[in-house]
Amino acid sequence: MFNNFDAKKISFLLTCHNRKEKTYNCLCSLFKVLPDAKVYLVDDGSTDGTSEMITSCFPSVNLINGVGNLFWSRGMRKAWSEANKYGYDFFIWLNDDLILYDYFLEELFDCYYSTNPNSIITGIIIDRNTKEVIYGGYDKEGRLIQIDGNMHLAHEMNGNVVLVPKCVVDVIGIIDSKFHHTGGDTDYGYTAKENNIQVLTTKRAVAEGYINHLDRIHKWGTNI
pLDDT in tens, 71-107: 888 899 999 999 999 999 999 999 999 999 999 999 9
Contacts for 46 with CB less than 8 Å, ≥ 6 apart:
16, 17, 18, 20
Q: 119 forms bridges with which residues in the sheet?
A: 198
Nearest to 209 by CA among 163, 148, 161, 162: 161
Q: What is the pLDDT of residue 178?
A: 66
Q: pTM value? A: 0.91
Over 83-138, what HEC string results?
A: HHHHCCCEEEEECCCCEECCCHHHHHHHHHHCCCCCEEEEEEEEECCCCCEEECEE
Q: What is the pLDDT of residue 142?
A: 94
Specify the length of the chain in residues: 224
Locate all alpha helices (DSSP H) within the chain, ordered by sequence.
20-33, 50-57, 71-83, 104-113, 166-172, 184-194
Which parts of the chain have pLDDT scores under 50? 1-3, 216-218, 224
pLDDT in tens, 55-69: 999 999 999 998 777
